Amino acid sequence: MSMSERQSRTSAGPTHHLLSDEAAAELSSIPTEVINLGDAPPLAPAGALTQGEVRAILLSLLLAMFLAALDQTIVATALPTIGRQFGDVENLSWVITAYLLSSTAVAPVFGSLADIYGRRVMIIVSLSLFVAGSVMCALAPSLLVLILGRALQGLGGGGIMPIVQTVISDVVSPRERGQYQAYFSGVWVSAGIGGPILGGFFAEHLHWSMIFWINLPLAIGALALLLPKMAKIPVYHRRRKVDWLGGVLLMAAAMAVMLVLTWGGNRFAWLSPTILALSGAAVLLAVSFVWHALRAREPFLPLQLMSGTVVPWAMAGGAFTMGAMIALTVHMPLYYEAVYHLTASQSGLALIPIAAISVFGAAFTGRAMVHVERYKRIAIIGTGFAALMAAAIAVLTLLPLWLFLTLLSLCSLGLGTVFP
């Protein structure tokens, strides 16, 4: 439409479409900003993706997700063997903690960088870091080097999961994701069953370093399948200035919180000067991040994304559920070997109820979300049931192994309902 046509239509139109003086004054007081999007890519592909293309993209993404999921379960059963080889059991938990520290700190950073530089670049960076960390772990001559390698591996693993989930959200609508829950469940079932078994087998019959060498062919395969498909994924990123200060504050606050939760009540008393200092540093860093995010023009993590009546509670529910799953996965192999005197391979098999049974709860909830209007009630009932099973395990000690595994399976089933 030309300018003269727009002017003629405006003059010929009815007067009730014109703004009142109060409305015009209110609109004029709103600060405006002109953003140059000339360099930005289009917000949608030329044509809609077919079901076959969506399925092909998801399958390539799920291999990358399998890589990160496998590494959460395959290391746990090898920890006692690693501790015996290096003669250090006291610092053995850092093999897990270092990975969780780095991956937790960088996860939001990778998500923001994917919005700036694109999914393709950041998935390559995260997988490359993961492979480099895996090689460092496999060649580690001491426990310290192994812990540093796990931290590097966590930098890559912390980027894989958020980028994969971001790309999935680019190609599949929220309501339709329940239909693809079978794919997601298959990944976690495979990693949940295969990880503990492979970790125990490698530690007992081959060498624990194999749990890191196996990541190389998986990462290469994920890149080979994923990169040719990335051209079909809708493009939503836009180049803008990176808020490095906000990213550093966010990572530092996350690491301080993780150190408090790791050392508190274990290496240091909860009221010790070290824990109190770390707690104060975490609060100070968190407040500084919030202050900076509210004033930055384009903050690293816009706080508006975490506001409302749904998102904060969903984040808290997911955090507590994942915390319970990780805690069980890390500590159960040591418990099995110390209390039930199981071997490394047997401990791996005994981890299956935690890693695999929870997937059935997730699969059921995912499919129910497509048909049930008030689907959050499923997760509420599931977590309540999981809490009862956990209380039974805590009170009824020492249980026969079969009964312990049964209650643990029921607890994991309830926790799985939260994930979708």
Please state the rounded mean pLDDT for residues 88-113.
Answer: 76
Name the burial class of residue 37, with classes exposed (0-12), middle (13-18) and buried (19+) by CB atoms within 10 angstroms of its CB.
exposed
**What does the pLDDT look like over 257-291, one tens digit per residue?**
878 887 788 778 888 888 999 999 999 998 998 89
Tell me phi and psi for residue 192, to 5 degrees: -70, -35
Tokens of 321: 């559920």
Contact 333, 283 (CB under 8 A): no
Per DSSP, the residues of 104-126 read: HHHHHHHHHHHHHH-HHHHHHHH
pTM above 0.85, yes or no: no
Buried b (16+ CB within 10 A) or exposed e, 77-109: bbbbbbbeebeeeeebbbbbbbbbbbbbbbbbb
Average pLDDT, the chain: 76
DSSP state of 20: P
For the chain, the C-alpha Rg in angstroms (whole number) is 25
pLDDT at site 370: 73
Contact 85, 204 (CB under 8 A): no
Tokens of 94: 């850092």
- Other CB atoms within 10 Å distance of the CB of residue 394: 8
**81 has a pLDDT exceeding 70:** yes
Please state the rounded mean pLDDT for residues 215-231.
Answer: 78
CA 334 to centroid of chain Cα atoms: 25
Name the pLDDT band for 115 (thresholds 50, 70, 90).
confident
Among all chains, which residue has been given the structure tokens 């958020």? 162
pLDDT at site 391: 92
Contact 380, 419 (CB under 8 A): no
Tokens of 32: 């405006």
Highest-pLDDT range among 18-22, 44-48, 171-175, 213-217: 213-217
Q: What span, in angstroms and rounded, lies between the C-alpha atoms of 15 and 170?
A: 43
Contact 358, 385 (CB under 8 A): no
Classified as helix, coil or strand, 382 is: helix
Q: What span, in angstroms and rounded, lies between the C-alpha atoms of 359 and 181?
A: 10
Contact 225, 389 (CB under 8 A): no
pLDDT at site 5: 42
Name the pLDDT band for 22 (thresholds 50, 70, 90).
low
398: left (phi > 0), else alpha (psi -120 to 50), else beta?
Answer: beta
pLDDT at site 283: 93
Contact 170, 237 (CB under 8 A): no
Q: How many residues does the chain have?
A: 420
DSSP state of 174: T
Q: Looking at the DSSP assignment, which residues form a beta bridge with residue 268?
A: 264
Name the pLDDT band for 372 (thresholds 50, 70, 90).
confident
Please state the rounded mean pLDDT for residues 226-236.
Answer: 68
Identity (one letter) of the amino acid at 114? Answer: A
Taking the alpha carbons of 71, 73, 74, 75 in that order, is the dihedral positive or negative?
positive
Per DSSP, the residues of 259-298 read: HHHHHBTTTB-TTSHHHHHHHHHHHHHHHHHHHHHHH-SS
Tokens of 46: 């030329």
Tell me phi and psi for residue 39, to 5 degrees: -90, -5
Return the closest-CA partner of residue 100 out of 258, 265, 325, 317.
Answer: 258
